[in-house]
Amino acid sequence: MDDTSLKFLKTLLGTPGPSSYEIAPARLWRVEAGKLTPAVRGDVAGNSYATLAGSGGPAVMLAGHIDEIGVIITHIDDQGYLSFDGIGGWDAQVFVGQRVTLLGRTGHIVGVVGKKAIHLMEKDEREKVSKIEDLWIDIGATSRAEAETHVRMGDPGVLAAGPLEMPNGRLVSRSLDNRVGAFVVLETLRLLKAGGPTAAAVTAVATTREEISHTGGGARTSASDLQAVAALVVDVTHATDYPGLEKRKHGEYRLGGGPVIGRGASLSSMVAEQLIEAAEAEKIPYSIEAASRDTHTDAEAIFNSHRGVATGLVSVPLRYMHSPNEMVLLDDVENAAKLLAAFCRRVKKEMDFVPR
């Protein structure tokens, strides 16, 4: 990955944008996309699109959701403390002692998550896990009136943990799930543009609201808008290369193992085979993940939109999912983009993706 792409990825990761509040990272994504193609736009659902025209082949959609998990203010008490709830799936233990960045009415507001000190707890309290309702956010205000000059109910926020490069090509940050997917689909366009025209018309989409959606979120509406014949969803999957995980139960996926290709429910077998063939032809390392039911990604929403879309899933192995310190290997991210680009180049005018 070159320095320009890495700088953009780190900027994207550091820009707060929880589900339904993705405006800032989506704006950055569209600005970067505009350097690759003039065909850039957004829609009312917050989705962002960037298209490279093809030479008469089928339309292909590349989707990576740009939202992240976060928090939302639900109450302000008379002393100026903020009650909050989670946006997306959280382990409440992660919140304890963390700093937060709130997207307040006057800009970004710094807060800290408060909890009763262990010295003041009774013995039975010490043995209980923390619940969100037992925590609060302290922004340094001394009254409700003062707090309300900065924030109000419904303001979102994220944990304040930006990107950090670590040894051996590791990158750590919050929001890698799935800002990295939105990055990969745009990086794919960069590779395709550098390699010359494709038969397929390829549209990268930074989709919204995946972390909270039970009805398809931005992925469903964007897929219906594009009417693509085939789609590749880019998300993250659990790396199982750290202590305490049973490979027989969770599979074997590691940092450095390359992108993970999904096979199974809500996924096109034709697209999966094309991805595998492309990976082997280009000598891109990969592994396969089986999905007996839902993939818990945007794949279901796209696969079942309008007349149906032949959908594939490519995942980047990630450690410590839904925490402020998620971890990926940059080589895996780069190889995911190379795999998507190789797939798109293999799409020919006569391909219809109907299983026969």
Q: Which residues participate in catalysis according to the annotation?
A: 210
- And the tokens for 346? 């293999």
Pairing of strands 287-291, 260-264: parallel
Could you tell me the sign of the dihedral formed by the alpha carbons of 132, 67, 60, 232, in that order? negative
Pairing of strands 170-173, 164-166: antiparallel
- And the tokens for 64? 């990576």
Q: Tell me the CB-side half-sphere exposure of residue 32, using CA atoms within 13 A.
A: 27
DSSP state of 129: P
Amino acid in position 101: T
CA distances from 335 to 20, 112, 157, 244 (A): 29, 37, 32, 27
Q: Tell me the CB-side half-sphere exposure of residue 313, using CA atoms within 13 A.
A: 29
Q: In angstroms, rounded to a whole number, what is the distance separating the alpha carbons of residues 173 and 180?
A: 10
Q: In angstroms, rounded to a whole number, what is the distance separating the alpha carbons of residues 42 and 128?
A: 46
| Beta carbons within 10 angstroms of residue 302's beta carbon | 32
Question: What is the number of helices (H) and of strands (E) in the chain?
Answer: 10, 17
Q: In angstroms, rounded to a whole number, what is the distance separating the alpha carbons of residues 343 and 340?
A: 5
CA distances from 333 to 86, 213, 214, 318 (A): 28, 25, 27, 10
Q: Which helix (H) or strand (E) holds 7?
A: helix 3-13
